[in-house]
């Protein structure tokens, strides 16, 4: 109910990713603006370097940036939009123990498929089919809807809708023509029809003999298009140079790889392309294969048009890249673009973060390291309307996705030009996640009585120093006190979150530890004849060698199990938006009291 009203300026919590690559170039650029070009060069070189050196450099830069400023981002800068994301869009690299965003992952295409007929296209034929569906899937040139195949002469009782099945059941059979109710005259010329704007391909004299393999029937005309010819010619021209110059066979395939949706990054991961460039100077001059004569009268024709609808829209023009026609009658149906499924890797350590199942229609993932399962989720539980110079309490809810207790520490800019933010309790803990609690135990029907208790708790909070609003299940809600100093469309502030937890890591297999530890410490004591015969004694021995060290660290579990507790910690920055700030209204004194939590509690009780 209130959620609808808030919709206009929706509050948000966005997480900042300190992308190693981007930050490095940024810091370089800001430090030495004059040497901008050089830094670019350097980055290009770095890409070709060993992974190891790159990682080290990244660490270096990450450290420097952290030392430079506590808050790497200015909440009001338009640039932050590009480095902050909703939690759902982020990944988490376990090896780097860092957040990864769409900018700092590297993608590899694992599967191409048509989004309409859902057929998978083998990688080998993607190039020759020019990245589009080679079956019966076409896009309306006018409205981008998917076109349907229709027979022109049909048995009377059947309405056009019947001819639709080709697209409905593409998986079962190669598109059955209207299921032959009458003898041979099956409605021979077929055409494409748009069910939305009623465009039909007969308008441009495009008809088909058969209802199947339409793309194949059109292939000849498509191959004759000047841009296709020119591209083939270009490819021919350069490919032979590349072949002679570059022994690395991957190069040519990389150069002509058509990236799918967002698939560009895979190109940057390729190595060796820059190293061979010096040699390629001796490319013979290229001469165009096709010369397209610009029609002269076009501008005149266009200026004399009466009907604005006779000119194509930008979308229509850009959908037909081959000639980008200005006149509507030149528009042609386009084969539907293929989509891809991609593996995503951490760009720093190259470990896989996302690995989808190969099949086009599967929605499962073999590997799925999303930030949602690793870092605390922050939601704005209550954010009343903000007013200039008025202290307002905002409740942030921190949920713990981990199965261990997490300690949170918050830091913010307490005062800037836009307002002040106070966090009464900036350090608190969150209980571990437990799926059973999450939904079954939370009975709101009974909870509404204890909300009196919550009420009193909140009341107590206003007196005491405690800024914790609620601690329950696997979440903790805390109170922030926000006082905006100016009227604005969106009040934002940065919040640096540090979370710490104790992780139990398994010490590798007994054999490994034996190799690691006993070789260094006890190699002399271990009786070499025993090792093969009795493994249990050797494990006991190794644990005993390790147990003292674990005890020293954590004084936990005197009986030696092959695990070790370590403390893990990660800081990340978020930007929080709280919606618009209203003018200083001549607010009656009661309104300010309604903004405090006691007021909120009582109002929820009354409803």
Q: Which residues bind Zn ion (CB under 5 A)?
A: 17, 19, 93, 95-96, 101, 103-104, 114, 116-117, 133, 135, 137, 140, 142-143, 145, 194, 196-197, 199, 346, 348-349
Q: At closest approach, how far in Å is the CB of 574 from other proteins?
A: 15
In angstroms, the CA 243 to CA 369 distance is 39
* 3-state class (DSSP) for residue 75: coil
363 binds other proteins (CB under 8 A): yes
185 binds other proteins (CB under 8 A): no
Instruction: Give which of Zn ion, other proteins, none residue 530 binds (C-beta under 5 to 8 Å, depending on kind).
Output: none
* 3-state class (DSSP) for residue 133: coil
Q: At closest approach, how far in Å is the CB of 363 from other proteins?
A: 5
182 binds other proteins (CB under 8 A): no
- DSSP states of 493-528 as a string? EEEEEEEEEEEEEE---HHHHIIIIIIIIITTTS-H
Question: Could you tell me the two tokens for 108?
Answer: 């590899």
* 7: phi then psi, degrees, rounded to nearest 5: -45, -35
In angstroms, the CA 211 to CA 164 distance is 11
Binding residues among 1-20 for other proteins as defined by CB under 8 A: 1-3, 6, 10-11
In angstroms, the CA 46 to CA 241 distance is 26
Q: At closest approach, how far in Å is the CB of 448 from other proteins?
A: 8
Closer residue to Zn ion (CB): 371 or 578:
371
Question: Could you tell me the two tokens for 490?
Answer: 């969106």
**Which of 26, 55, 110, 143 contacts other proteins by CB under 8 A?**
143
In angstroms, the CA 494 to CA 8 distance is 22
Instruction: Give which of Zn ion, other proteins, none residue 348 binds (C-beta under 5 to 8 Å, depending on kind).
Output: Zn ion
Q: At closest approach, how far in Å is the CB of 100 from other proteins?
A: 12
How many other C-beta atoms lie within 10 A of the C-beta of residue 319? 20
Compose the 83-102 pattern: x for residues touching other proteins by CB under 8 A, - for all others: -----xx-------------
Binding residues among 439-458 for other proteins as defined by CB under 8 A: 439, 442, 444-445, 448
Number of alpha carbons in the 13 Å side-chain half-sphere of residue 353? 31
- DSSP states of 208-245 as a string? BSSSS-HHHHHHHHHHTSHHHHHHHHHHHHHHHHHHHH
Question: Could you tell me the two tokens for 428?
Answer: 């608190």
**Which of 179, 285, 532, 558 contacts other proteins by CB under 8 A?**
179
* 3-state class (DSSP) for residue 2: helix
- Short-list 404, 396, 578, 381, CA closest to 499: 404
44 binds other proteins (CB under 8 A): no
266 binds other proteins (CB under 8 A): no
Instruction: Give which of other proteins, Zn ion, none residue 372 binds (C-beta under 5 to 8 Å, depending on kind).
Output: other proteins
Q: At closest approach, how far in Å is the CB of 105 from other proteins?
A: 11
Q: At closest approach, how far in Å is the CB of 260 from Zn ion?
A: 15
Helical ranges in 89-147 per DSSP H: 123-126
Closer residue to Zn ion (CB): 371 or 378:
371
Q: Which residues bind other proteins (CB under 8 A)?
A: 1-3, 6, 10-11, 88-89, 113, 115-118, 143-146, 148, 157-159, 161-162, 164, 167-168, 179, 181, 195-196, 261-262, 339, 354, 356, 361, 363, 365, 368, 370, 372-373, 379-383, 397, 438-439, 442, 444-445, 448, 604, 607
């Amino acid at each position: 109910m209130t959620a609808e009203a808030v919709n206009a300026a929706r509050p948000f919590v966005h997480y900042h990713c300190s992308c190693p690559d981007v930050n490095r170039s940024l810091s370089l650029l800001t430090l030495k603006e004059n040497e901008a070009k050089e830094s670019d060069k350097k980055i290009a070189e770095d890409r070709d370097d060993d992974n190891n050196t790159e990682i080290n450099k990244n660490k270096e830069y990450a450290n420097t940036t952290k030392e430079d400023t506590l808050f790497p981002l200015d909440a009001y800068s338009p640039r932050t939009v590009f480095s902050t994301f909703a939690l759902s869009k982020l990944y988490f690299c376990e090896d780097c123990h860092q957040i990864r965003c769409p900018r700092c992952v590297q993608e590899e295409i694992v599967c191409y498929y048509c989004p309409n007929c859902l057929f998978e296209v083998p990688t080998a034929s993607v190039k020759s089919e020019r990245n589009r569906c080679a079956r019966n899937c076409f896009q309306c040139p006018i409205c981008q809807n998917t076109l349907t195949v229709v027979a022109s002469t049909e048995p009377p009782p059947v309405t056009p809708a019947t001819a639709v099945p080709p697209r409905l059941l593409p998986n079962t059979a190669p598109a059955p023509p209207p299921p032959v109710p009458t003898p041979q005259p099956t409605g021979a010329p077929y055409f494409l029809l748009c069910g939305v704007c009623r465009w039909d391909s007969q308008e441009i004299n495009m008809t088909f003999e058969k209802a199947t393999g339409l793309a194949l029937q059109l292939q000849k005309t498509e191959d004759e298009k000047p841009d296709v010819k020119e591209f083939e010619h270009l490819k021919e021209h350069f490919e032979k140079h590349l072949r002679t110059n570059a022994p690395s066979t991957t190069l040519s395939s990389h150069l002509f790889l058509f990236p799918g949706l967002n698939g560009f990054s895979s190109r940057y991961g390729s190595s060796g392309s820059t190293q061979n460039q010096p040699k390629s100077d001796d490319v013979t001059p290229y001469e165009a294969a096709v010369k397209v004569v610009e029609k002269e009268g076009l501008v005149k024709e266009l200026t004399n048009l009466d009907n604005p609808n006779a000119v194509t829209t930008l979308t229509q023009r850009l959908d037909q890249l081959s000639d980008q026609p200005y006149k509507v009658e030149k528009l042609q149906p386009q084969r539907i673009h293929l989509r891809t499924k991609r593996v995503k890797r951490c760009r720093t350590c190259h470990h896989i973060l996302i690995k989808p199942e190969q099949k086009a229609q599967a929605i499962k993932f073999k590997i799925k390291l999303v930030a949602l399962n690793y870092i605390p989720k922050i939601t704005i539980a209550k954010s009343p309307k903000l007013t200039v110079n008025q202290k307002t309490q905002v409740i942030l809810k921190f949920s713990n996705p981990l199965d261990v207790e997490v300690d949170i520490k918050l830091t913010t800019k307490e005062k800037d030009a836009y307002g002040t933010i106070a966090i009464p309790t900036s350090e608190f803990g969150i209980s571990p996640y437990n799926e059973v609690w999450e939904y079954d135990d939370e009975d709101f029907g009974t909870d509404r009585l204890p909300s009196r208790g919550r009420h009193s708790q909140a009341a107590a909070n206003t007196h005491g120093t405690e800024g914790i609003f609620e601690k329950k299940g696997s979440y903790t809600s805390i109170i922030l006190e926000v006082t905006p100093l100016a009227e604005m469309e969106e009040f934002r502030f940065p919040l640096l979150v540090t979370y710490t937890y104790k992780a139990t890591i398994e010490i590798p297999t007994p054999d490994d530890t034996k190799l690691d530890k006993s070789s260094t410490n006890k190699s002399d004591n271990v009786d070499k004849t025993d090792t093969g015969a009795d493994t249990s004694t050797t494990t006991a021995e190794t644990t005993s060698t390790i147990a003292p060290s674990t005890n020293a660290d954590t004084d936990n579990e005197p009986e030696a199990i092959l695990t070790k507790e370590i403390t893990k910690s990660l800081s990340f920055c978020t930007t929080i938006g709280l919606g618009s700030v209203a003018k200083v209204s001549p607010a009656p004194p009661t309104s300010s009291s309604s903004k405090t939590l006691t007021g909120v509690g009582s109002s929820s009780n009354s409803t």
